[in-house]
């Protein structure tokens, strides 16, 4: 019983859902069995510690105290409860979508040939759709469904009159184009993380050309995915990113939080790639995106912030010397981190601030205690220790850690190739820095030229700073 779908659902229910389902089960329209109600009450009572309480025989005794255990009957009552809860979940989802509700109502009235009722339901559905702010895939698809429903209604009256087929076709076309661009954007992002997989983008090239030819970029959902895809596949043409950034900053209310979050992440990844190429102007743009995305809680998911987003936000602030904001961010947002890793992540990011403020002893103290199984965090922590050893003129420790880090990178095949190359290049240049005659202008200029030309490269700004 512990591994059943019923247990998975019941143990996930929130307090409000429990109250509503309890009412649902007591309504004869949805359930006419008292044992189903008793089973639900028992399961809710012990949901916090179900490992023992949800043994079938023990559950049976609570529901049927005077009857001998019957496994087939137990499975049957569990099935009835599961179906009742599933019907509640579907009903709730349906009722919360007023456009879907009005569309279904209009369809029912059309089939019954109730013209006045149909007109009212269809008009309310269209008005509700246009009044709400979203202009995403849900909006485009429902616009098509409403147009299609109107076509079915008009054809049921007479076939010898104008109908709205063009409106329905245009609506369907826009939804398809938006979905094709969105899915291709996701394919591209996933391929960069998991490079072994290969995706077929189907009609993407034709979709891109069609969007441009028909000037469909006035549709927010088509525009954001068009410019996201263009920015990621043609990063040299920065106008694509400029337009994406503008849409993110001014059209975020047109999308669900989960949708706009993916656009923020795509924009931030673009900024990171530019920063790795030495474009420090994108460091400021990345910081502003992080600041807006976090302060408006767009980059939070289920009221939590990932350790990567948390660390990247601090890093963006530090690159812009926004130390006050970084410290305030850590204080204000640390409770959004997973509790199991909160202390480690907070200390790690505080060490980064101490380092930037030249408080090397406090930074080193926190870093020496840092233990984490995430390879990127370990690489960043080791990099910071390298810089501390150099700043404190601890050459032996510096050389030892360089070699240790080189071996570490060599072993980590799962690390993103571009990022791995950036750190490998950094190690190579740090070795040259250690042997550099800082008083030789010729050596300094040659080193500067090498740093500026090396791509990708981590810690470019720090390396250049050492020869100033």
Is the pLDDT reported for residue 248 higher than 80? yes
Q: Are 317 and 287 in contact (CB under 8 A)?
A: yes
Last residue of a domain, one of 209, 237, 265: 237
The token pair that represents 223 in the structure block: 């525009």
Is the pLDDT reported for residue 13 higher than 80? yes
Are both 13 and 69 inside the same structural domain?
yes
Are both 113 and 89 inside the same structural domain?
no
Are both 106 and 151 inside the same structural domain?
no
Domain of residue 109: give its range. Answer: 97-124
Q: Are 29 and 23 in contact (CB under 8 A)?
A: no
Are both 194 and 116 inside the same structural domain?
no
Are both 111 and 137 inside the same structural domain?
no
Structural domain contains residue 103: yes
Last residue of a domain, one of 214, 237, 260: 237
Are both 10 and 27 inside the same structural domain?
yes
Structural domain contains residue 324: no
Q: Is 412 exposed, middle or buried (0-12, 13-18, 19+ CB in 10 A)?
A: middle
Per the structure, the count of domains in the chain is 4
pLDDT digits (tens, 9 = 90+) for 360-392: 999 999 988 777 677 888 898 999 999 999 999
Confidence category of residue 189, pLDDT binned at 50, 70, 90: confident
Long-range Cβ contact pairs of 138-142 (< 8 A, separation 24 or more)? 139/221, 140/171, 140/174, 140/175, 140/178, 140/219, 140/221, 141/175, 142/99, 142/100, 142/103
Q: What's the pLDDT score for residue 2?
A: 65
Structural domain contains residue 274: no
Structural domain contains residue 46: yes
pLDDT digits (tens, 9 = 90+) for 151-181: 999 998 877 777 899 999 999 999 999 999 9
pLDDT digits (tens, 9 = 90+) for 194-247: 778 889 999 999 999 999 999 999 999 999 999 999 999 999 999 999 999 999
Are both 149 and 220 inside the same structural domain?
yes
What's the pTM value of the predicted model, to 2 decimals?
Answer: 0.78
Are both 104 and 79 inside the same structural domain?
no
pLDDT digits (tens, 9 = 90+) for 16-68: 999 999 999 999 999 999 999 999 999 999 988 877 788 889 999 999 999 99
């Amino acid at each position: 019983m512990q591994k059943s779908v019923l247990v998975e659902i019941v143990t996930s229910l929130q307090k409000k859902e429990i109250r509503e389902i309890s009412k649902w089960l007591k309504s004869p329209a949805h359930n006419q069995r008292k044992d189903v109600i008793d089973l639900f009450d028992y399961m809710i009572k012990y949901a916090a510690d179900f490992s023992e309480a949800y043994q079938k025989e023990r559950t049976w005794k609570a529901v049927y105290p005077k009857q001998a255990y019957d496994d087939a009957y137990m499975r049957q009552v569990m099935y009835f409860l599961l179906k009742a809860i599933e019907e509640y979940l579907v009903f709730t989802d349906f009722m919360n979508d007023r456009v879907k509700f009005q569309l279904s109502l209009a369809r029912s009235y059309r089939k019954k040939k109730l013209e006045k009722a149909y007109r009212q339901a269809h008009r309310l559905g269209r008005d509700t759709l246009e009044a709400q702010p979203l202009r995403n895939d849900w909006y485009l698809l429902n616009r098509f469904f409403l147009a299609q429903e109107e076509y079915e209604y008009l054809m049921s009256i007479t076939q010898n009159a104008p109908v709205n087929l063009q409106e329905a076709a245009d609506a369907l076309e826009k939804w398809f184009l938006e979905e094709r661009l969105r899915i291709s954007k996701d394919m591209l992002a996933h391929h960069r993380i998991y490079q072994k997989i290969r995706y077929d983008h189907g009609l993407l090239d034709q979709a891109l050309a069609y969007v441009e030819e028909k000037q469909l970029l006035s549709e927010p959902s088509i525009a954001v995915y068009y410019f996201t895809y263009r920015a990621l596949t043609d990063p040299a043409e920065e106008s694509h990113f400029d337009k994406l950034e503008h849409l993110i900053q001014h059209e975020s209310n047109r999308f669900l939080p989960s949708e706009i979050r993916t656009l923020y992440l795509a924009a931030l990844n673009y900024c990171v790639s530019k920063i790795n190429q030495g474009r420090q102007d994108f460091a400021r743009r990345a910081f502003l995106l992080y600041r807006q995305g976090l302060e408006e809680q767009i980059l939070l998911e289920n009221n939590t912030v990932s350790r990567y987003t948390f660390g990247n936000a601090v890093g963006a602030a530090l690159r812009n010397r926004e130390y006050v904001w970084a410290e305030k961010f850590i204080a204000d947002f640390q409770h959004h981190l997973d509790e199991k890793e909160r202390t480690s992540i907070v200390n790690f990011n505080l060490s980064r601030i101490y380092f930037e403020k030249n408080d090397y002893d406090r930074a080193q103290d926190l870093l020496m205690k840092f233990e984490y199984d995430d390879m990127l965090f370990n690489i960043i922590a080791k990099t910071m220790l390298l810089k501390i050893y150099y700043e404190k003129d601890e050459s032996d420790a510096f050389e030892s850690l360089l070699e240790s880090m080189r071996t570490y990178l060599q072993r980590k095949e799962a690390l993103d190739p571009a990022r791995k190359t950036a750190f490998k290049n950094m190690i190579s240049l740090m070795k040259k820095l250690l042997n550099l005659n800082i008083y030789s202008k010729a050596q300094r200029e040659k080193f500067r030229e090498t740093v500026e030309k090396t791509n990708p490269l981590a810690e470019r700004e720090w390396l250049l700073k050492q020869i100033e």
